[in-house]
Amino acid sequence: MTGRRIMTADEIRRATIRLSHEIVEKQAGTSGLLLIGIQRRGVPLARRIAEAIAENESVDIAVGALDITFYRDDLSLVAQQPVVKGTDLPFGIDGRTIVLVDDVLYTGRTIRAAMDALVDFGRPQAIRLAVLVDRGHRELPIRADHVGKNVPTSREEIVRVHLEEIDGEDGVDIERVVESRRAVEPVA
């Protein structure tokens, strides 16, 4: 496996700040805004965006965590059940503008699952999507409202986002899947 860094810690920081500005601009303020990170790396990203908004607008935006495991469309296909990391939405979502935050947007299936999960909690006014990296190859009619970096990739590549809170460092790498691993070792 060969890795290549496509975003440094500084670039992640700047992208996060830009995302925070875009989110506030699109909402024309911060009224009604909630940030919900998708487990796992969407959650620290959502917190960072909230911190950036607090710094620029002096407003604290509530942050929640959403685990989409129970809503995956491949639960009957994977060999073992995935780890459930837990949902924590300490607020009602009725009538609010939800910004879903995730690290990588790929096929769009995670976002489909996240929207299904959200509507079980209520009826938001709007759901928007912010991602750190959009790597293309959508399989569903989904697009992001706010993108940190667009990265053209092939399906044979893996985009790995590392975040300080989980991985001990910030950085985004792109790796090529070794063919033999791809053929024999499904990763769920």
Q: CA distances (Å), 179 to each of 15, 41, 164, 176, in order?
A: 32, 26, 30, 9
With CB under 8 A as the contact rule, the residue among 107, 145, 149, 173 that binds another protein is 107
Residue of 6, 9, 27, 69 that binds another protein (CB under 8 A): 69
Q: Does 6 interact with another protein (rule: CB under 8 A)?
A: no
Tokens of residue 1, six digits: 């496996």
- How far is residue 45 CA from its own chain's centroid? 8
Residue 23 CB, nearest approach to another protein (Å): 20
Which of the ranges 2-10, 11-19, 21-29, 106-114 carries the binding residues for another protein, by CB under 8 A?
106-114
Q: Find tokens 């938001």 and name the residue.
A: 124
Q: Exactly one of 10, 120, 169, 179 binds another protein (CB under 8 A); which one?
A: 120
Q: Which two structure tokens, joined as six digits, stand for 42?
A: 């969407």
Report which secondary-structure segment, H or E, holds 48. Answer: helix 42-57
For residue 139, state whether it binds another protein (rule: CB under 8 A). yes
Binding another protein (rule: CB under 8 A), the pick from 121, 145, 149, 173 is 121
* Token output for 151: 């990265």
Phi, psi of 33 (to 5 degrees): -85, 135
Q: Which two tokens stand for residue 83?
A: 């780890």
Output 72 or 128, the one with its CB closest to another protein: 72
By CB under 8 A, name the binding residues for another protein. 38-42, 67-88, 102-107, 109-110, 112-113, 116-117, 120-122, 139, 155, 158-161, 177, 182-183, 186-188
